[in-house]
Structure 1
Amino acid sequence: MAEGLGLKGPRGWAFRDVSFHAGAGALVAIEGPSGTGRTCLLLALTGRMKTQEGHAEVGGLRLPRKMAAVRRIAGLGQVPGVSELDPSLTVAEHLRERALLQRRFDGSVRALLRRPGTRAAEARARIAEALAAAGLDLAALPKGERTSVRDLERLEALRLSIALALMGRPRLIGVDDTDLKLSDADRAEAWALLRAVAAAGTTVLAVCSEAPADALRITTVGTTVSTAAATPATEPAEPSEPAAATEPAAAEEPTEPGTATEPAAAEGAVAATEDDITEEGAADALAETRRA
């Protein structure tokens, strides 16, 4: 859920007046051209950037007050400059490193006191679970688990980044540049993967240039931000407890559409004026996060 959410950089607003509501396990597409605040919105909703206006709620945790708590339940896939894969490391090295970090920083004290063999078995099980959920078959890679990230196809790298995020068993996962440099076939596979992750109960926020019809679309086009309901191809699953900002509340009154590219019937649309949102504002906000 988000109400009037806004984030300002030194040279202007990255985004403003973002309002929508969602349940757990939904697929949300943050759609728009590069430089329109897409990544800033993604990072704000996952607790990585502090907003100056409005508020959001993720898994019952209020933003921006509970940013640290939200980060513990929100994982990041690929986000350039924030959570990138190291091209010099192999797939196995990335997985082992994430397992060690997970055990060190997110594990309980009791887990740290378990026997080494037990901890190793648990790490292997968690890795296998994440790889299966991300659809990454290590045996199909050129050199198996010893394949370097620089040798991965873009879709394979996307699957690896999602697997790494899923190792923390998050309630929300954010992915940037989902459809960048993907063929039509690979793009379809990428969205199928994200739908499967969402169907398993993890809310998905995915930045993209063009959203699929069955996703909740948050559209950023230059000076406007708007949201539009998904058009599911099948009967939607009944949502459980609220988690991330994902699905418009049916009880809310629709507001005025905020972008010329959205149909007039789009629900929950919000807009900012031309003087409010700037590409420089989004760039400055991202630069501050990357330096941190």
Structure 2
Amino acid sequence: MDIDGVWIRARGITARGPEGNAFENVHLHVEPGSLGVITGAAGTGRTSLLLALAGRMRVITGDLVVSGHVLPGESRAVRRLVRPARLRPGCELERSHRVSEAVTERRMISGVRAEHIADALALVGLAPYRRALVRELHPADRLLFEIALAAATAPAGLVVDDADAGLPPASRHRVWSALRGVAATGTTVLASATDPPSKEYEVCHLPARPHHRRHGSRV
């Protein structure tokens, strides 16, 4: 595949959630076809930042541009370019479905062909038993399955939440290798993690925010 990945420029962006600012004064620069990693402890706004970069959460201050589309005004165009593989909560595979049912559902929703899903599964190094329930898959395999289903549509951008959550080192290595493989196709990949995997990725670290603070901190 030869995909034109999205580029992202963020300067001083802030988004607000039900309990105050979800993240504050974030600066980010992501090149097309790269793997960007958003790190930080729980509660620092990793998921919210992914949502904002994917056009799914409104920024209230700062400048955010995704491949020439200015947010929040052009969020619909950005949502067409940047697809979620997993965003928590709300965007995960139905665990009671079988692998074959999840594949069929994705083909019906996106119109992707069976051979493209097969290619994407091979790309991430996964060959799941088609009769297995999604909840029966190993957590790393379940995440790789979600990544493959999203990558099969050849999106310009892909977001993956909690890429390292609950995984031992060997499984983390599999996931990061798979994400690097997806980025190698040209898709720009944005993933959140508790710890940065290595120095070879573009990393945006979100600092801890005291509950009483409401004003910006620079990243």
Tell me whether the two structures share a fold, i.e. TM-score over 0.5. yes
Q: Residue in 2 aligned with 1:28?
A: 36
Q: Percent identity?
A: 38
1:55, 1:64 within 8 Å by CA — same for their partners in 2? no
Measured against aligned partners, the alpha-carbon deviations of 1:116-153 in whole angstroms (never above 9, x if no partner) come to: xxxxxx72222212222222213xxxxx2111011100
Q: 1:215 aligns with which of 187, 201, 209?
A: 201
Q: Which amino acid aligns with 2:54?
A: T
1:47, 1:64 within 8 Å by CA — same for their partners in 2? yes
Deviation at 1:69, TM superposition (A): 0.9
More helix by share: 1
Moved more, 124-133 or 184-193: 124-133
- Distance (whole Å) between structure 1 residues aligned to residue 121 and residue 69 of structure 2: 28
Q: Residue in 1 aligned with 2:3?
A: none
Q: 1:191 aligns with which of 176, 189, 197?
A: 176
- Distance (whole Å) between structure 1 residues aligned to residue 170 and residue 17 of structure 2: 37
Q: Which amino acid aligns with 1:131?
A: L
Q: 1:51 aligns with which of 59, 73, 76?
A: 59
Deviation at 1:82, TM superposition (A): 2.0
Question: Is it true that 1:19 corresponds to 2:31 in the alignment?
Answer: no
Question: Is it true that 1:126 corresponds to 2:116 in the alignment?
Answer: yes
1:21 match: secondary structure: strand
Q: 1:71 aligns with which of 76, 79, 98?
A: 79
1:12, 1:276 within 8 Å by CA — same for their partners in 2? no
- Distance (whole Å) between structure 2 residues aligned to residue 220 and residue 21 of structure 1: 14
- Distance (whole Å) between structure 1 residues aligned to residue 187 and residue 38 of structure 2: 17
Length, aligned pairs only: 206
Question: Is it true that 1:275 corresponds to 2:214 in the alignment?
Answer: yes
Q: Residue in 2 aligned with 1:174?
A: 159
| 1:230-241 paired onto structure 2 within 5 Å | none
TM (norm. structure 2) is: 0.88
1:27, 1:203 within 8 Å by CA — same for their partners in 2? yes
2:113 match: secondary structure: helix
RMSD: 1.7
2:30, 2:36 within 8 Å by CA — same for their partners in 1? no
Deviation at 1:179, TM superposition (A): 0.4
2:33 match: secondary structure: coil
Q: Which amino acid aligns with 2:203?
A: R
TM (norm. structure 1) is: 0.67
Measured against aligned partners, the alpha-carbon deviations of 1:168-203 in whole angstroms (never above 9, x if no partner) come to: 211111001110111111111111111111121111
More strand by share: 2
